[in-house]
A and B are shown apart, each in its own frame.
Chain A
């Protein structure tokens, strides 16, 4: 690109000089100039498309890596990252990143190369012009830094204010039904006008100053060009320099400043792009250490699963959540696990699922430590209703069937009936074909619980973990669901997590978790 810039100026000057002498410009020189122009076009297009492609590839790799990390190693990662925010950054971040790769990086290289080459070239044929360039060139970065420093904080604050104003508008529009309900929408319209006008006035005050840095850039470039032109003119009259050399230098002068100006223009957008990439890299690095994979198949005929002296420490808590817990769940029995919220009930569930490894002690499947077993194969034998089940995008039917791809239509219907979900589904206009999840119909908490229970019941499993499977249900429905669970799981080992003791009454044994310890309550419940 630098060479093309230089050659363009030289050939351009040659053609003018030949015309000046009254000679027709040679076809070769015109063809050469055209060829240089074509090369510049190809280079410009190439930078654009290659840079953008690079950004697409980089972001795609980053997000796939993040998804793999989440799904393979750290499904429980709790880094405070809002799923919607991360997903947006991982997809839309490509726009800023494209600016970085396609515009910022090439201009950065040009900004380092072009001025040097142009200066050296000019110094060789006309030291005076080179001196003007050398004096004016540093003005640009110096002023950019000076004015940039002075205004950046204020400018940023204004852009933040702009986004706040936009958020305020979203807030007001979102609250429109509330405003109407309270007869308050008319005053709000006036407030929208007022705050927008107020914002405009204060922002314009800031822009008046911060646009000065751009103006100084422009001014330096144009005044330097004018100065170079005038001094060249004077020395041409004296015969101190030739027309060709003078024209070449005149053409090169604006090129000297172009990359710097482009850099300044793309700076913020590309910084946003880099920030997006950084955010994802942080999340990839930050997720918890991977769970060991591979190992033997789970034992075919285990009689019980046990926690033996298990200790689990959460990074954000001073004391261990589980501190020497022993717990056994045998095939054919229902063990209820009770305890206050935060006692570590759900942590027990994640240990049994192999979603988390104990810091000390062992999770035993029959006579084998889960740490030595292929955890993916083990999970094939476990069904789970989490405390806050996720409804995936799709029909209710699909949401139930997703835990067993081989499930027959009858099995799904049976599970739906057992989970007492039949009734409310029948009352929906589209029944089990109703689309739920993000963007679909919202279900009440109790209805979601029942879909999740149906999902767990349809899964052929030896261990069933139910984390508050009746939350949001009234007593009558809860009792129906619990007795259906009892019937459906006669041959299986069941862990029933409940914070309300009265709903643990179907259990064969009740274990209470408190202060990191598990204590069995014999015959306390029924």
Chain B
């Protein structure tokens, strides 16, 4: 319940629309109740052979209900969908604004695709919060209460029987079902995820498994996981069968109860005999709002679970924040890392220990090391995606923590290890760095990244669509588009994080050479695990286990006007 309130506060479904849509929903159900109830009365009264005219009111009412129900239902569906879309839009906006300062420092494992997709899936699930969760419950409660009141006003005991039936069918059954199915569903979700991961691996690695003679083992593992998934899903099927059957049973038995009570009451003279069928049929129609509740409860339960994860992330406090009283934008682009240490807080990573690094304007430094040496963490320190636990990162002499993040990143641009290409055109991906850039500036950035010819050779040129995550372009092209974007930003310091990862050696050498040549007098931090481009930098810093283990002088560039490369940083 606490989660529900917090979620409603976070997603802010428009309250007036919610009220109107649930009111319409209740009207639709009650029109159905009226239709059947009055029809029952009409027929029973007619059997007493009254003058036809005395039935006119009932006949009109029946037709009105028959007409009113679908109309109310139609507008209710429209309104509730509108509500769901509005809720989703608000949730997405709110979530994005909360998430923005948290990435990547406060969302561990953010780069892993599955975490991200799950996160977005959780946000998307919030559209069900009202449409399939809260809405049907309110509709059932309101229409149920009205129906019980009406039935009870004619025959209190019949009203009581109906109330009891609605309570069991609308509260007890959904609660039990959601509990049982939900628990099974949680375990089933885990088992399904494991099976999916195993299947992906088998499809991907089939040739190697077969060549190693490991196919029988792989098949056994899949069979085992499949059996577990099947077992849980069969149990789930049984539970859902019970829920479905239970709902029909409770509804049916309640109607039998109301009918019996009404019939006995009429024989004893406590109820007009023309109302017996009316009350029983009204009870039958009331259950229309209740039969969907068990499945609504299951949806609500999983929506709430998604909601808890959304709230958990949205509730985090960002560790990297702008200072209250920021210093003016840095005057120079000199970067200095002074005894900086950083602890990732997991045993998979070394973090960084006492890193010293100086980057005078125009200098080029390569950071070299194997996987997990701390290279990317250092890159994140430089653009303040994380703050050091000890020591300082300075830009133009100021600790980056006294600068506005906006000013820092306008000076130091990170071309990340896995640069993201948005699912739009090549030119829009480049232009992202500076939306007001002219076509000439974009062309120049593309030329420096050496994609201008390739782009021009494409049938759609600049407007070629890159696909989701850049799926339509090759790894090398993706890298170069990102490079053009970094160049277009025009900042005096660029940090290139493994521009050669996942490229073949020839391509890798070309990309690094072009990156360094295109940098055009800017300071460059080149992060790499390979040896490409090391002959074109001023200094080579080797990282190992989060520490600097050696600082070497890079081969001096032939055209270096500043003379020989300066000394080391330590």
Contacts and interface: CB of A to CB of B under 8 A. Distances in A.
B468 A167 contact: yes
Interface in B424-468: 432-433, 435, 468
A128 interface: no
A252 B496 CA distance: 74
Interface stretch (B62-70, B135-143, B329-337, B516-524): B62-70
Q: Chain B interface residue count: which class?
A: 35 or more
Given A30-B260, A390-B204, A189 B69 contact: no
A471 B244 contact: no
B207 A72 contact: no
A219 B67 contact: yes
Interface in B322-367: 347-350
A438 B81 CA distance: 38
Contacts of B237: 48-49, 51-53, 56, 98, 102
Contact of B372 (A63, A188, A218, A427): A427
B44 interface: yes
Given A52-B240, A71-B219, A429 B350 contact: yes
B538 interface: no
Nearest to B107: A176
A192 interface: yes
Interface in B39-54: 39-40, 42-47, 49-52
A45 B246 contact: yes
Contact of B203 (A86, A233, A445): A86
Interface in A241-266: 242-243, 246-247, 250-251, 254
B436 to A, nearest CB: 12
Interface stretch (A17-25, A113-121, A301-309, A314-322): A17-25
B201 A193 contact: no
A236 B372 contact: no
B451 to A, nearest CB: 18
Nearest to A19: B263
Nearest to B266: A19
Given A25-B264, A427-B373, A438-B201, A177 B385 contact: yes
Interface string A55-90: 011001001100110111001110001011011101
A178 B416 contact: yes
Interface in B99-134: 99-100, 103-104, 110, 112-114, 116-117, 119-120, 123-124
Contacts of A90: 196, 199
Contact of A233 (B46, B88, B103, B348): B46
B383 interface: yes
B39 A16 contact: no
Contacts, number: 441
A350 B211 CA distance: 9
4 closest residue pairs by CB, A with B = A45-B245, A49-B241, A37-B252, A41-B249
Contacts of B229: 60, 91
Contact of B120 (A170, A211, A380, A430): A170
A193 B86 CA distance: 10
Given A72-B215, A76-B207, A353-B211, A53 B234 contact: yes
Contact of B409 (A182, A218, A438): A182
A404 to B, nearest CB: 9
A273 interface: no
A424 B543 CA distance: 12
B24 interface: no
A376 B206 contact: no
B318 to A, nearest CB: 11
Interface in A494-511: 500
19 contacts: A15-B260, A23-B267, A24-B267, A37-B256, A50-B241, A84-B200, A175-B420, A189-B97, A211-B74, A214-B73, A218-B73, A223-B63, A236-B49, A246-B46, A390-B208, A403-B212, A430-B347, A439-B114, A445-B502
B309 interface: no
B151 interface: no
B561 to A, nearest CB: 30
A189 to B, nearest CB: 5
A196 B92 contact: yes
A267 interface: no
Contacts of A175: 420, 422
B529 A173 contact: no
Interface in B514-566: 529-531, 544-545
Contacts of B414: 181
A49 B233 contact: no
A429 B343 CA distance: 13
Contacts of A47: 241, 244
B214 interface: yes
B100 A180 contact: yes
User: Which one of A40, A41, A181, A439 has the highest number of Cβ atoms from chain B below 10 Å of its Cβ?
Assistant: A181
A33 B99 CA distance: 58
User: Which one of B31, B240, B372, B501 has the highest number of Cβ atoms from chain A below 10 Å of its Cβ?
Assistant: B372
B210 A71 contact: yes
Given A181-B416, A384-B208, 20 more contacts: A20-B276, A34-B253, A40-B248, A43-B245, A48-B241, A49-B240, A52-B241, A60-B229, A88-B196, A94-B233, A184-B432, A189-B93, A189-B100, A204-B85, A222-B31, A236-B46, A424-B371, A441-B371, A443-B371, A447-B371
